[in-house]
Structure 1
């Protein structure tokens, strides 16, 4: 699959332009921060009314990644739902869509700070997932090594063809990779934010997503 190839803890991985992480040897696809049902949650709490298509758009892109990769294991790396009520409010059509994506695969929901606990949508819910030599969790831990996480929704900015472009981005150093948010309407945190600058090593890269991945030194 097309993307940026790199090695973490001796494991060959591919950062895909969609924001998903592919582990070829394990036929293992990882995505983070789907935030399914976000438009419903915003409207329910009195915020602006957004077109309620975010879950369908996110699932459409995920279905395409699964079709291309033929992944046998899928890990959703936390904040898969915007809150418990958003999970319960998923229309039946979208619940069935998730069930079809899960069919014939191992499916793991890793707990995130938005994820309140198990929801009746199949798969397995875990606090984190160790698959030696890697560990998959929602929020990065200082001092960890071989770590795959999400949570921060990192994004980075470049100048391309005379214009400024900001995109979701992977952050990568020799200890960890932080995935961008996969879900629609998720927004992002600039990777020069102190929360990320203090977490990532000085040599860290930002991999901007899109049809062509741009690898740049992580802006500080």
Structure 2
């Protein structure tokens, strides 16, 4: 296990919209703000957390004989990350694993994409947490960790049964529910008294619905979901498939 770090000094002032997120919640003593994009902001620690960027996914699928897809997913994901960094001004960014769709793709990223990653890293601490898609150190600057303890929280890629104050990713949670008689599906944050699971941040990623047995077993009975998107919603974690009557 990697040694823990201490939260940084109090944050610099950021935009009112970000600093007064109405869906902010307390998790093991840390006041956390889920952003519409799927990023998690921890203002007191000046930290932004993202999970499952899956950079290079379309290129990996095309190279493996799948459909020839334009490589726009990496650019869109990086643009989204640039916007969130500009809005929150973090001193630290934690990427919770599967930042790259494979180790080979990570090494083969176009120079333009590598330069953009270097640019967003400038002037801040950058931590790559190891995922199942991208084991091993990233040669793109920053620090590589298997997991990270920071204040009351532990950051890792995949949730563990013995968790406490755990922040993870991996499952790409999505909620499906009926809204005004229409079924909608959105990526979402899931949290209970033990763990917090982030949605996939990548522009071209699938997801696991919250009513899937894997997530239903993992999350406690009190678990809640916060849906991503321009209009965020907080509700009890959906555990049954939403179907119109």
TM interval, short-chain normalised = over 0.9
Three-state SS of the structure 1 residue aligned to 2:184 is: strand
How far is the alpha carbon of 1:176 from its aligned partner? 1.1
Which residue is equivalent to 1:33?
52
Gaps of 5+ in 2: 1-17, 240-245
How far is the alpha carbon of 1:170 from its aligned partner? 0.4
1:67 corresponds to which of 69, 86, 92:
86
Q: Is the contact made by 1:3 and 1:15 (CA closer than 8 Å) also made in structure 2?
A: no
How far is the alpha carbon of 1:3 from its aligned partner? 5.4
1:179 corresponds to which of 171, 179, 198:
198
The answer to whether structure 1 residue 83 and structure 2 residue 107 are counterparts is no
Q: Is the contact made by 1:3 and 1:17 (CA closer than 8 Å) also made in structure 2?
A: no
Name the CA distance, whole Å, in 2 between partners of 1:164 and 1:122: 42
Name the CA distance, whole Å, in 2 between partners of 1:215 and 1:80: 26
The answer to whether structure 1 residue 200 and structure 2 residue 207 are counterparts is no
1:7 corresponds to which of 7, 14, 26:
26
Give the total of aligned pairs. Answer: 220
Q: Is the contact made by 2:177 and 2:238 (CA closer than 8 Å) also made in structure 1?
A: no
The answer to whether structure 1 residue 103 and structure 2 residue 117 are counterparts is no
Q: Deviations over 1:27-80 (max 9, x none)?
A: 100000000000010011111122210000000000000000001100000000
63-72 or 43-52, larger mean C-alpha shift? 43-52
Which has more radius of gyration? Answer: 2
Which residue is equivalent to 1:112?
131
Normalising by structure 2, report the TM-score.
0.88
Which residue is equivalent to 1:45?
64
Gaps of 5+ in 1: none
136-145 or 25-34, larger mean C-alpha shift? 136-145
Name the CA distance, whole Å, in 1 between partners of 2:128 and 2:167: 14
